[in-house]
């Protein structure tokens, strides 16, 4: 029997929906989750045929869930529920044939119909996985701030989104609008989402909708040129992929095995989130760039060298460790009573800080 996972933080909505859909329990089974984190646990344990998710939820929201699906289960059909910002945006999104949107507050009979459409093989009203362009349009609808790390055959890239608009991009030696026009049209992109926009200036200065249209126009023209070259017998040179610097697996294992470490997050050279502890990670949205800039400025004023590590205590009696390395930066949240000096020694056994 087919299985449908519905994710929403409104318990009353989930109960109402299960009540409506119980008439079809001989056709498919409904499982529910109250946020993206619970949904990921279920997706890891059970094979589903359709995912229906709200976008605004606590702990792990719908965008983070869709990013996880794009990396780990790209063939899973998805229906997104969202309150659109304007009638113009709603009309634009409804023209898309890659993703089915249901406007909130949800019309339950409409959602019921959408689920049946989504379960039909070959339907056009849903996606199998999340395309990057579609994901960006979702971000635009909800006016989100984030940094997206994109892993694709062409190599790693970064997109910086502020209030739903793409303000900067970086790929290999290309930046700004030129990089954005290339990245947003990539196929089979794997998306990692960091909930902070790690750029301040809008260097692209082009509305997302216009940028997407231009990017796909360029892509179509390039495809036509390649087709023409092929028909004329001219060779088409492939793009050399750029290898991404891997996360130090020994470090991840070490951090996971230190009993005094409650949570950890590893950030790459672009301040993008590279790895975290399993389960809930409250420091995943830590703005490491703000700390680096502030401490670098202090070091310059005092004629110090750049900071290597730092212990931080808060008024809530939480203890944190920050480590600054050439290829990555680490943030650790310690368990109550843990000694920062001892944790530092344990990490130094594996990594030269």
CA separation for the pair 60, 195 (Å, rounded): 10
Q: Residue 304: what pLDDT? A: 63
- Of 85, 86, 110, the residue nearest 100 (C-alpha): 110
Cβ(169)–Cβ(157) under 8 Å?
yes
Place of tokens 């989402």: 193
CATH 3.30.450.30 domain residues, the chain: 249-348
Residues of the chain with pLDDT under 50: 85-86, 88-89, 92-93, 95-98, 121-128, 240-245, 353
Q: Give me the residues paired with residue 157 across strands.
A: 150, 171
Give 87-100 pLDDT, tens digit per residue. Answer: 544 554 454 444 56
Give 248-287 pLDDT, tens digit per residue. Answer: 666 777 787 788 888 888 888 777 778 888 777 788 877 7
Is 249-348 a CATH 3.40.5.10 domain? Answer: no
Q: Residue 38: what pLDDT? A: 94
- Return the number of other C-beta atoms located less than 10 Å from residue 308's C-beta: 10
Structure tokens at 349: 């056994």
CA separation for the pair 107, 117 (Å, rounded): 15
What is the reported pTM? 0.51
Q: Residue 41: what pLDDT? A: 93
CB-neighbour burial class of residue 325 (10 A; exposed 0-12, middle 13-18, buried 19+): middle
Q: Give me the residues paired with residue 3 across strands.
A: 29
The phi, psi pair for 146, rounded to 5°, reads: -170, 165
Q: Looking at the domain covering 2-130, what would its CATH class be?
A: alpha beta
């Amino acid at each position: 029997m087919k299985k449908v996972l519905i994710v929403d933080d409104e318990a009353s909505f989930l109960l109402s929906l299960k009540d409506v859909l119980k008439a079809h329990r001989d056709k498919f089974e409904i499982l529910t989750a109250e946020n993206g984190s619970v949904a990921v646990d279920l997706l890891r344990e059970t094979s589903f045929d359709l995912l229906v998710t709200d976008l605004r939820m606590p702990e792990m929201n719908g965008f983070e869930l869709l990013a996880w699906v794009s990396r780990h289960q790209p063939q899973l059909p998805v229906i997104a529920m969202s309150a659109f910002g304007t009638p113009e945006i709603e009309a634009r999104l409804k023209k898309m044939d890659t993703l089915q949107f249901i406007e909130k507050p949800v019309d339950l009979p409409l959602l019921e119909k959408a689920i049946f459409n989504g379960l039909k093989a070959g339907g056009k009203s849903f996606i199998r996985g999340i395309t990057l362009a579609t994901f960006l349009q979702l971000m635009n609808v909800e006016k989100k701030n984030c940094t997206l790390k994109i892993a694709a055959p062409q190599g790693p890239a970064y997109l910086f989104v502020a209030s739903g608009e793409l303000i900067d991009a970086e790929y290999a030696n290309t930046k700004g609008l030129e990089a954005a026009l290339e990245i947003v049209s990539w196929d089979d992109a794997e998306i990692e989402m960091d909930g902070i926009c790690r750029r301040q200036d809008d260097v692209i200065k082009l509305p997302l909708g216009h940028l997407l249209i231009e990017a796909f126009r360029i892509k179509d023209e390039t495809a036509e040129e390649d087709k023409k070259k092929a028909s004329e017998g001219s060779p088409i040179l492939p793009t050399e992929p750029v290898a991404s610097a891997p996360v130090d697996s020994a470090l991840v294992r070490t951090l996971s095995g230190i009993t005094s470490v409650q949570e950890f997050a590893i950030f790459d050279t672009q301040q993008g989130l590279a790895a975290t502890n399993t389960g809930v990670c409250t420091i995943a949205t830590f703005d490491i760039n703000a700390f680096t800039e502030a401490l670098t400025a202090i070091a310059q004023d005092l004629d110090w060298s750049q900071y290597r590590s730092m212990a931080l205590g808060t008024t809530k009696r939480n203890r944190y460790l920050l480590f600054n390395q050439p290829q990555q930066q680490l943030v650790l949240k310690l368990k109550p009573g843990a000694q920062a000096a001892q944790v530092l020694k344990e990490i130094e056994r594996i990594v030269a800080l």
